[in-house]
Every structure is written in C-alpha cells, then in structure tokens.
Amino acid sequence: MSLLLKNALVIDPKSPYHNKKKDILIEKGLIKSFGKSSARRTLDCKGKIVTPGWFDLNANFCDPGLEFKEDISSGTRVASRGGFTDVNVMPATQPPIVTKSDVEYIRAKELKEVELHVSAAVSHNLDGENLTEMIDLRGYGVESFSNGDQPISNTKLLLKALQYTSQLDVPVLQNARDSHLSEHTQMHEGVVSTGLGLKGEPSLSEELIVARDLGILKYSGGKIHFSKISTAKSVDLIRKAKREKLNVTCDVSIHHLIFTDSSLGDFDSTFKSLPPFRSESDRKALIKGLMDGTIDAICSDHRPQDIESKKLEFDLADAGAISLQTFLPALMKVKEIPFEVLIERVTHGPRQVLGLNEVTVEKESVAKLTILDPKCEWLLDKKSNFSKSVNSPFWDQQLVGKVTGTINRESISIFDK
C-alpha cells in the first residue's frame, strides 16, 4: 500500500529535509520520495510534525505474570498511541526473561504496530548470583542485558557480565542504586523528605554505584548503560568517563526532567518513583547533561501499577507511573531544551545505545515515522487512556501535544482526535 503524507514539517537533525515542509511518499515500508506524488491513500499533515519513529529504552509490559497491570497487547497499543515504533521491554516479569523460551514468548505476542526489543536478565531469576546463558540469548536476538530495577550489586557478576558482553557487542543496563543505602526509603533525602517525615534515599546511593561500575568497566572492557540516572554527580561522573573514552552511555526518564521532590508535597503516590525525584539542582543538571550530549536518551520508564498497589499510604505504595501515552505532552513541558534535541534523544540516541541501524527521514530509509500535533489539547481520563492501569501524574489533566499517527514499515496507524 502507498501513503502520501502532505504538508509535513520534518524534524530530524540527521535528515537533509530537517525543518522543511515536505510531501512524503511511502511505499512497501520505505520512504520513496519527497515532493509531488500520488498514492492510494493521502493524509494531510498541515500543522503536524513528522519525525523518525520514537524508540523507548525502558518500559515494563508486565507480561508474563502481571497481565492485570499491562500485557503485550495493551502495552503495544499504548506505546503506539504515545508515538513509539520501537520499545525495549524489561525482563522483570514473572517469571523473568532468562531463557530462549522466554524471549520466544515475547516474540510470539509481538504486534506489527510496534517492534519489541528484548532486554534479557543478567542473572537467573534476577537474583544477582549466576549469569544467564548470554551467548545463546544473544544468538536469539537479545540486544541488551539488564536486571530491571534490581541493581547488579555483585561486583564479580557485573565484571563477568561485562567481559561476556564485550564479545557479544551489547550493553549491560544497570539501575545504579546501593541496595543498603536505599533500603526502605520513600523519596529523595533532603529538606522536603525531612519536612514530610519520610525516609529519604541519599544521592550517594546512586553515585557510589556509578563510580564503582565505571571502575569495573575500565578494568573489564565491554559496554555499560546507566538506566534512569537522577543526580547531578552521576551526570558529572559519566561526563568525565566519556572524556576518558570509556564505553558508557546513559538515559534519563521523562518524568525526572519535569518533576522534583517538591512534587510529593501532598503525598500523591503517583509521584513515588524509582529512582526518586531529586532536587531542582539535580533536575537542572540532567537538563545540562542532555544539552551537552552526556545523556544519550530519554526513556518513558513506563511502569503500570494496579489500584491495590497505589491507593495506599505513601510508604506502602509501589513506585512508578504509566508514561508512554503522555510522553509527548511531558516532553513539551521541558522548555529548557530545543525540541529538535529532545527528538534526537528519543530517536537516534536510543538506537545508538543498542548499536542499531539509524532510522532517518530520507529517501530509501525504512518507514518508521511518528506524526504529531504539537498544539492539540486533550484530556487524560478513562475514556482516552489505553493502558490497563491509571497511575499517571497527569490523570484528569488537560494536556497539550498529541501523537496522531505512527508508521512502522507497512503498518500504518492513524489516530482520531
């Protein structure tokens, strides 16, 4: 099938058509031409922006085992509505993704709208003790290894994992957190936590592990990716490591760019996050890290939770929020960074982290595209929400910016307002 996108404003710093209005012809899953053309189907994109398809490095689809929170079908639907053509799913399911059969389960449920990339567990059952069969899993298409939100605390295990993956050319994804310093904590340690009477997690918890892991990386080789960094010193440590040419990358969650520990003032559990929202100075350091290229990508950290896990006293509630469908409105709240830089961090940056081929808006490129209306206003509520869960900090709020379609090769999804 052929599709013509008319009057589209292209935002893609790596495209020769960046910041230009073009008619884009798509045929058989490829971008064929720019300019006057005819097609079986035409879509007027006046007032809309077309970018490379968005890629999320960190989302939880809860399948298998926790399908009442989200499953692959609902996760794919909400990801597509949020603008994503590719999603890297985390291994912290029940059971965890540790074998080729587990990967096959994900692949069998994959839908054409969104390409799923699988991050398999570093250790069996996420126990941090014994490595999974990394070579076999890599041969089966696994593109990264992670223990999800469980930090790889065992230094010997991390060393072995980096040595193995250096031969496989894939990164180890680390959630940097000292399990002892963060035990039983509820939020960032600081003035706000003291005022609220909640036990805080010190920034040191993250920074110690970042520093430790960079030392191990320098010794072992391989590639490490720090998922969802949150503190100013972590940014500085990674910036310095990159200057030393260490093979390190990192990402930040979208919510950490707009929320701080002050957001927890009314004990709303939708603002309980892992890692916790830090101080305003930390948030500004994350912004600076994105601007200067220290931070490679922005992830959703989509984490569905059922009502029973959230409608509790703050200290008992589970951490996390749904964030895929509201990713664009959240992105547009980051006023300190040019929009084209933000787009680069959700398109090219994530693919570079995993060593995948570029996706650009140019002739003969694979048709992976996101279409968005930056001025469209909409309300997130039960009617508009496509996730199985409702734990969003934007619930019942009027939002600005909406994805109106995605194209993933020959799969075309156009959404009504």
Burial of 265 (0-12, 13-18, 19+ CB in 10 A): exposed
Tokens (6 digits) for 376: 């469209």
- Give the CB-side neighbour count of residue 177, counting CA atoms within 13 A: 21
* Separation CA 312–CA 327 (nearest Å): 26
Q: Tally helices (H) and strands (E) across the chain.
A: 11, 18
Alpha helix (H) residue ranges in 169-279: 191-196, 203-220, 232-243
* Separation CA 4–CA 247 (nearest Å): 41
Instruction: Tell me how far the alpha carbon of residue 148 is from its chain's centroid.
Output: 12
- Concatenate the DSSP letters of all residues of 67-130 into one string: TTT--HHHHHHHHHHTTEEEEEE-S-SSS-S-SHHHHHHHHHH--TTSEEEEEEESBGGG-SSS
* Separation CA 340–CA 18 (nearest Å): 9
* Separation CA 228–CA 241 (nearest Å): 17
Please identify which residue in the block is written with the tokens 């006023």. 335
Strand partners, 43: 5
Is 301 marked active-site?
Answer: yes
Catalytic residue among 86, 213, 296, 301: 301
- Give the CB-side neighbour count of residue 113, counting CA atoms within 13 A: 19
Q: Which are the catalytic amino acids?
A: 301
